[in-house]
A and B are shown apart, each in its own frame.
Chain A
């Protein structure tokens, strides 16, 4: 069990995280963010045979920046928030093969400021889509690790939630996509030869989206194909008596336009570059409290749409069995 002081620190950190999620200064809105599945796969440390890893995190994606192409429009009247509970787990059957799963519970909020001082507010929540990836990893003697994985995204989330008038809400407000996707991931990790705690990595993720063929009762909807490159460096340091890990990442995401009944939807898709600081506190050798945030540096939206303003992820990581080899 945790010591009392450790529990207090954990509760304090989650309280702070909760404040972030509910504080109006972060405003709300919605759009091209969606459920952060592709953002969150492939992040568990590289591990050896018999290791079971679990990460439980909350992820908040806030969209309240209205952009026309690359130009920011001065309009704060709309906000979208996607708040997710993510359970990520992996089990290594051998030193080279492991299975990874990502399970989500999603809450989507849309707030639109209206005349009269009140807001139009829509909220949906429920199980999100789930992802399972089979991965193969290759270690080299000089500190390189290469992992390639692939698997489906199951349409486990509900995609036909209705509003108070009995009308099905828009696709990007649903917890699930209603479509089977194929996800492919490629990870490259290099441990610094001069400092074993430091590693460099890149993750390339490609999401080939499928079609929801039962959208709005017989229509088809397809989210835009997406790929992203996450690259960065991580290291560890001892601060006082605490072991901390920290990292600095860049994430480049390209999303294609959505399609409704085979027709490209205007004002969807775009290119996004984010800066992503990461910090983790090693509470135990096998327990890490981590927090990362994501801030947009460059955004180019297709047409005019809300784009991501801020993303925050706070989570706990546990491993059981064999020690992991590196920590991203």
Chain B
């Protein structure tokens, strides 16, 4: 028996030696433990860094070619001049970030399936164009993108860098419109839309999170605080004026297309939307020369032109004057985006609700 015991030692060493392997790792991944948010509430979502692959410069197709989309599928739209593009949720559910260039602007469409928030960010940081990737981390159930320039981590809903050398830097955003595919292509028949030929093999027809979108009590990752003033998964438009939030509910914009004007945190706002056509967006009421305009619905039927003002100008859903004396001018956009109510309640606990219904 003693001899046998002596034999085990070398064998064990041999087996342990099989463990000796090494891998190359990300040279930028220097890591930083300083966070602007509670690091104990930052969770590893599971797939890992870039485990959910962002898309870069995706192939675009025409609306007629996008047979994979259904009328009720939600898209996030962006327009620069005549370059109009749609980024469907059914693709963003699997990639979360699309790095693109539209009308000469380097943009990143960032969408978090767990908070339902879509925001459009400028990819130019401190004069250098970069791309964003999915860190695999979550804060309050919300995506934490990272920039490939400095490997810093950002918070989508906070709209700032929360970890890394750019910590404290605010994200520059562009105005995006979220609506259904039917409404979007009615507004912009010549739109381009992301092709499902993304270079990745995914089942774009299936939603990867079960009944998460509609089950108000279903959550995968924690968030805090809870706010039960509105059903958790109701999609709302949040507006941030100097960091102060106000939330608008789509249900308040029933009966065709509706326009609301109000003053919030010292800013005159116009909000236009339609529960029927599933869009909601907000602008400042001041024209470029500072004139305060009064708005109403431009027409009862849906098109890209949704507002007209007291000077006879018609404005489209991106706040561009398309007819009238101010043609070519733009309304000042406000920081706003649509998401599940619970995420607005968690990130902005003091959020005012415009119409509790």
CA distance A246 to B209 in the complex (A): 44
Q: Does B46 contact A (CB under 8 A)?
A: yes
Asked, given contacts A14-B14, A265-B220, A318-B8, whether A109 binds B200 with beta carbons under 8 Å apart, the answer is no
Report A-chain residues with C-beta under 8 Å of the C-beta of B51: 78, 112
Within 8 A of B (CB), among A185-240: 216-217, 219
Report B-chain residues with C-beta under 8 Å of the C-beta of A304: 202-203, 208
Q: Does B67 contact A (CB under 8 A)?
A: no
CA distance A71 to B206 in the complex (A): 13
A residues contacting the other copy or chain, number (CB 8 A):
69
Looking across the interface, which residue of chain B has its beta carbon closest to that of A60?
A: B18
B residues contacting the other copy or chain, number (CB 8 A):
60
Within 8 A of A (CB), among B197-249: 200-203, 206, 208-210, 212, 218-222
CA distance A216 to B201 in the complex (A): 32
Pick out which of these stretches binds chain A: B21-29, B117-125, B175-183, B290-298: B21-29
Q: Does A180 contact B (CB under 8 A)?
A: no
Asked, given contacts A17-B18, A120-B26, A167-B42, whether A110 binds B48 with beta carbons under 8 Å apart, the answer is yes
Q: Does B43 contact A (CB under 8 A)?
A: yes
Q: Report the minimal beta-carbon distance from A74 to chain B, rounded to whole angstroms.
A: 4
Q: Are B19 and A114 in touch, CB under 8 angstroms?
A: no
Q: Are B19 and A170 in touch, CB under 8 angstroms?
A: no
Report A-chain residues with C-beta under 8 Å of the C-beta of B148: 115-116
Report B-chain residues with C-beta under 8 Å of the C-beta of A57: 15
Q: Mark B316-333, 1 if CB is under 8 A from A, else 0.
A: 000000000000000000
Report A-chain residues with C-beta under 8 Å of the C-beta of B221: 260
Q: Does B131 contact A (CB under 8 A)?
A: yes
Asked, given contacts A119-B23, A121-B23, whether A56 binds B15 with beta carbons under 8 Å apart, the answer is yes
Asked, given contacts A18-B17, A217-B40, A318-B4, whether A114 binds B202 with beta carbons under 8 Å apart, the answer is no
CA distance A115 to B124 in the complex (A): 18
Q: Are A115 and B133 in touch, CB under 8 angstroms?
A: yes
Q: Mark A111-142, 1 if CB is under 8 A from B, else 0.
A: 11111101111110100000000000000000
**Selected A-B contacts with CB under 8 Å, 19 pairs:** A10-B14, A11-B14, A22-B20, A56-B15, A75-B201, A75-B202, A120-B25, A121-B24, A123-B23, A166-B39, A170-B45, A216-B40, A260-B221, A261-B222, A263-B218, A264-B210, A266-B212, A267-B208, A320-B1
Extra pairs beyond A68-B202, A75-B200, A118-B25 (16, CB < 8 Å): A22-B20, A56-B11, A56-B15, A58-B19, A78-B47, A85-B19, A115-B148, A120-B26, A165-B33, A170-B45, A216-B40, A219-B222, A266-B212, A287-B4, A314-B18, A316-B15
